C-alpha cells in the first residue's frame, strides 16, 4: 500500500513537471504566433495575457518537481555546521513551516478562484478571459507543492531523513 502511495505521489510530481514544461512550450508558441501576427499586420488579441497565464501555471506546476530534484534554494551553511540530530529538527521545522504556509495559500487560493468564478471576473485585456481558469492552474500547482512539502515532512518524521535529491552539477555553478 505504501509503495503504491509513493509511486502515485512521485508520478504526480513528474506529471506536474511535464505540464510545467508544456506551459513553457505554450509560451514559446504564443510569442512566435504574436511575432508572426505583427509581421503580417494581424492582431493576436490576448497573446501577452495568455503567455502570462502560462508562465504562472508553469511556475506553480514546476515547484513540487523542482523541490524533489533539489532545485529549490537551500541554505546549507547552517545545516552543514550542526550535528545530524540538530539538522533533522531544523529540517522538520522548515518542512512544517513550508507545508503550513502552502496549505494556507491553498485555502486562500481556492477561495480566490471560487469568488472569481462566482462573480464572473474576467481579465482587463481585450481577451476577456474568465480569471478562474488561469487561477485554477496556479491553485493546482500550489496544491501539488503543499502535498510535496507534507510528503517530505511525514517522510522526515518517520524515516529520519528527507527525500530531496541534490543536483551537484547545477549547484556547482552557483556555489
Q: What is the pLDDT of residue 168?
A: 56
* pLDDT at residue number 44: 83
Place of cell 509511486: 7
The pTM score is: 0.84
Positive or negative torsion for Cα 139, 144, 148, 151: positive
Whole-number pLDDT of residue 167: 58
Which single residue is written with the C-alpha cell 510528503?
A: 151
Tell me the domain boundaries of the chain. Answer: 2-163
User: 47-68 burial, b for 16+ CB within 10 Å, e for fewer?
Assistant: bebbbbbbbebbbbbbbbbbbb
Per-residue pLDDT of the chain (175 residues; tens, 9 = 90+): 888 998 999 999 999 999 999 999 999 999 999 999 999 999 888 888 888 889 999 999 999 998 888 776 666 777 778 888 888 888 899 899 999 999 999 999 999 999 999 999 888 877 788 889 888 999 999 999 999 999 999 999 998 777 777 655 555 555 5
Q: What is the pLDDT of residue 110?
A: 95
Using a 10 angstrom Cβ sphere, with 0-12 exposed, 13-18 middle and 19 or more buried, the burial of residue 3 is: exposed
pLDDT of residue 79: 75
At 103 the pLDDT is 97
Amino acid at each position: 500500500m505504501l509503495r503504491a502511495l509513493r509511486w502515485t505521489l512521485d508520478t504526480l510530481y513528474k506529471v506536474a513537471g511535464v505540464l510545467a514544461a508544456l506551459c513553457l512550450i505554450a509560451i514559446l508558441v504564443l510569442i512566435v504566433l504574436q511575432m508572426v501576427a505583427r509581421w503580417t499586420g494581424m492582431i493576436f488579441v490576448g497573446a501577452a495575457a495568455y503567455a502570462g497565464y502560462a508562465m504562472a501555471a508553469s511556475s506553480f506546476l514546476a515547484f513540487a518537481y523542482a523541490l524533489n530534484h533539489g532545485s529549490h534554494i537551500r541554505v546549507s551553511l547552517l545545516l552543514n555546521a550542526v550535528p545530524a540530530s540538530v539538522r533533522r529538527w531544523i529540517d522538520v521545522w522548515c518542512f512544517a513551516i513550508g507545508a503550513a504556509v502552502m496549505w494556507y495559500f491553498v485555502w486562500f487560493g481556492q477561495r480566490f478562484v471560487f469568488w472569481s468564478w462566482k462573480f464572473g471576473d474576467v481579465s482587463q485585456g481585450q481577451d476577456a478571459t474568465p480569471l478562474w481558469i488561469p487561477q485554477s492552474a496556479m491553485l493546482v500547482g500550489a496544491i501539488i507543492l503543499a502535498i510535496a512539502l507534507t510528503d517530505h515532512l511525514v517522510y522526515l518524521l518517520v524515516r529520519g531523513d528527507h527525500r530531496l535529491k541534490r543536483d551537484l552539477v547545477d549547484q556547482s555553478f552557483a556555489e
